[in-house]
Amino acid sequence: MDIKTGDTVKVVLEDLSVLEGILLPEKDNHLILKLKSGYNQGIDKAKVKQMTLVASAKEEQSAQQADQNTDLPKIAILHTGGTVASKVDYDTGGVSAKFSPDELLSLFPELRNMVQIESELIGNMMSENLRFAHYNRIASLIKEKIESGIRGVIITHGTDTLHYTAAALSFMLEHLPIPVMLVGAQRSSDRPSSDAAVNIVNAAHFITHSAYAGVAICMHENENDDSCVILPGVKTRKLHSSRRDAFKAVNAKPLAKVNFRGGESPLVPLPEKQEEFMLKPFREDIKVGIIRVHPNMSADELHYDGFDGLIIEGTGLGHMPIEVFDESTKEHTAIFNRLKSLTEKIPVVMTTQTIFGRVDMNVYAAGRKLIEAGVIGNYGDIPTDTAFIKLAWLLSNFSKEEVKSLFERNLRGEITERTENDFDTV
């Protein structure tokens, strides 16, 4: 029997254990199977007792113009990478990006009766590789889509830094007139447990069934396969490395709950007055650092010469070791002096290592000393990642003096007036 790459096979090993999966190209005298779990497993060919064909591989259809219903609202899907729009690639044994309209409709057939799709590949990269230049490219393309009359935009994105991009677009796209939804997947779309389809289809459903205008994230509400939550672009963090419901709003509530299989998305009202849409990009050479306060810190860790700004992720209410109590804490004087030297040159912002709650440097004397030294960010409940993005964006568009006052103002919902007593965890 002729068995070829891409076929589903059953392999019996010499210990009589049985494996079943898709046959990938051999490597170093090992068979490679993609198991139903989505993981690849190498098998020493010398240990294979028998291999039988379960199902032949389906022939890959050539890309062609998708047949779409022109009466449906049109959305744009912009692909930056990640697993949300991907499928198994038998040439590499991994997954490859699929982003043309017909490929997307093949992966997510529910979209066919919901929207018209136009799609574009911005890049295909791991999300940690995105830089300010990529944010500018994405925002410019969104601007083009708005000018063309698009109903909404979905951005497929790797999950690890998805919330950074959501925050960046939230600040860059001022008075945004359409919904821009960032969507990721914790598990690739060729796995039975994939969350890709539910996330992307619910994002499209929300775009076409709500009055929302702005940047948001659409990801699984829980571990089940039915609903998603729409999360604010400036108040969301990834709180788990692998769970499908890894994304949670921090010091905020979800904007909406969406289930395209039943029930409408709740309307999210637009602001009473729609102001003129503006794109304010990042300066791509801006340098902002993040330092995390920890026991036994050294003043040498605060050397940020040549940087434009610094985020300090402090302990508790926004603290760092600056007080001297004994011989062992003399280093704290050097830390304070180095900090004061920095605040005279660049904006230095305090956030907190805690996930929930807000900074309050007025409670203790050490905190008040930080304020006197020029550290800003007091009373903010901005997640550190959003604070990093906000400071870089402000430095790209305003003077240093303006930055110091603007950082502590609520510009896009990133600072809440009152912290809720209750909070959700993964």
Any idea which residues carry the catalytic annotation?
A: 83, 159-160, 238
User: What residue has token string 């809720």?
Assistant: 420
In 3D space, the residue among 376, 364, 384 whose CA is nearest the CA of residue 405 turns out to be 376
Distance in angstroms (rounded) separating the CA atoms of residues 341 and 116: 56
Structure tokens at 105: 């409709």
| H or E element, residue 228 | strand 228-232
Radius of gyration of the chain (CA): 25
Give the 3-state secondary structure of residue 15.
Answer: coil
Which own/partner pairs from 53-60 qualify as long-range (CB within 8 Å, at least 24 positions apart)?
Answer: 53/1, 53/3, 53/7, 53/8, 53/9, 54/7, 54/8, 54/9, 54/10, 54/20, 55/7, 55/8, 56/7, 56/8, 57/4, 57/5, 57/6, 57/7, 57/8, 57/22, 57/90
Compute the Cα dihedral for 244, 250, 255, 256 and give only its sign: positive
